Amino acid sequence: MLEVRPFQAVRYAAVDSLGSVIAPPYDVISPSEQDALYERDPHNVIRLELARGSSDEPLAGRYAFAAESLRLWRRRNILGRDSTPAMYPYEERFRTPNGDLTRRGVFAIVRLRPWEDGAILPHERTRPRPKADRLELLHTCRTQFSPIFSLYEDPDGTIQELLHRACRGVPIACAQVRPGASPEIAENHQLWRVTGGDAERLGALFAHRELFIADGHHRYETALEYLNERQHTAGFGDSDHPARFVMMLLVSVEDPGLRVLPTHRMVSLPSDAPWDDPFHSELFACEGVPSDVSDDDLYRGLLARRSEGPIFGVVGPGEGRIRYARVRRIPEPWSAPATWRELDVGLLQTFVIDTLEQGHPGTEIAFTRDPGEARRHAQSDPARMSVLVAPTDVRHIVQVARARERMPEKSTYFAPKVATGMVMYRLG
């Protein structure tokens, strides 16, 4: 059973522009964007979430600066803590090529549960290094600056209707991000507060649901590890200790603003490897594409053909070679995870990426969301190939998670990313 609760958020209290102090989550910030965020405002949350430092500098030293900034900002009332526990309905408005969208969710804290309990489910694998970084930040600052983005099913719209009503009132905070300043997050943000019995009733509606991690797998596993370390220390017997919970933004699977973007694959073989085209196989039916097709038309053509089944846009190997490759059949026996049979990136991983990596040790796979970058990669060298993929449907994400399986790396990219700094959670 899920336990979703209100909490006393730490929020910006005295800043000139909230839009200048929020930031994208740490894992999508490039070094140049980190510098830009530092310069944008002396109180930008980047100084807490992703402190500056060289790659060989000990993490503890890097985040001691973050902890000192946190203490100073609280002392100067740059950051304050709400006096009453609350849930925080939240709307993000953003632009897309097909028009403006709004994504609505609610910030709350959720009792930590191990994956095997089945109440909170992942869909991606994690790596050790990011978890070590986030764990040191928790040790040093004892504050969760960035929420975990999770999904829930709400087929009858009960929770969505309650959030819609809450968002009719006057928001407690608004943030406007200058267009282009932080393209990974929405441009318009509005935050509301629900307290008392209304918050308790809202939390109770989650009790018998599942949560599916959309973004933040590393942060969730880090919170579990932090809890495991802390619960063996003196005075940690309280079942309601803040470290037993984690802050999340909860968004309905049915929300019309929920948007998943594709991540395309860029393949580079070792320079001395003979190229054996993996798409020249009885598993695929290929359709040639004129070499002068534009990047946009190439990708639009892929999406138009996707309704007939899994299909990829393949650029290279070889100069000017472009085609669509449709999966014609699935061989038996099937050795990959069962849910991958209906997952484009699962089929690509099984039939193509794994085959190349096993046959050509040293094969490199890079990722991009830009079809143009993928195309340029493939056309720059005859030992390269790029594969364009369609977005992963959110229903497939739920299916994979519920089956206790994981997707291949970089299978999903939820856009926009949830901003860091709208609300924060103090762990004690």
Pairing of β 384-388 and β 311-315: antiparallel
Integer-rounded Cα Rg, in Å, for the chain is 23
| Residue from 190, 167, 188 nearest 177 by CA | 188
pTM for the complete prediction? 0.92
* Predicted local confidence at residue 318, as pLDDT: 76
The burial of 2, by beta-carbon neighbours within 10 Å (0-12 exposed, 13-18 middle, 19 or more buried), is given as buried
Residue 310 tokens, joined: 């899994």
Q: Which helix (H) or strand (E) covers residue 423, if one does?
A: none
Cα-Cα end-to-end distance for the chain: 25
* Predicted local confidence at residue 362, as pLDDT: 87
Identify the three-state secondary structure at position 243. helix
144 DSSP β-pair partners = 425
* Predicted local confidence at residue 59, as pLDDT: 55
Whether omega for the bond prior to residue 317 falls within 30 degrees of 0, making it cis, is yes
C-alpha–C-alpha distance, residues 276 and 187, integer Å: 45
Identify the three-state secondary structure at position 305. helix
365 DSSP β-pair partners = 267
Could you report the average pLDDT of every consecutive run of 10 residues in the chain (428 residues)?
96 92 93 93 95 58 88 96 97 93 98 95 84 90 96 96 94 93 94 96 96 94 92 76 96 96 93 78 93 94 94 88 93 89 94 90 92 94 92 94 92 95 94
* Predicted local confidence at residue 128, as pLDDT: 77
The values of phi and psi at residue 210, to 5°, are -105, 150
Identify the three-state secondary structure at position 211. strand
C-alpha–C-alpha distance, residues 4 and 108, integer Å: 7
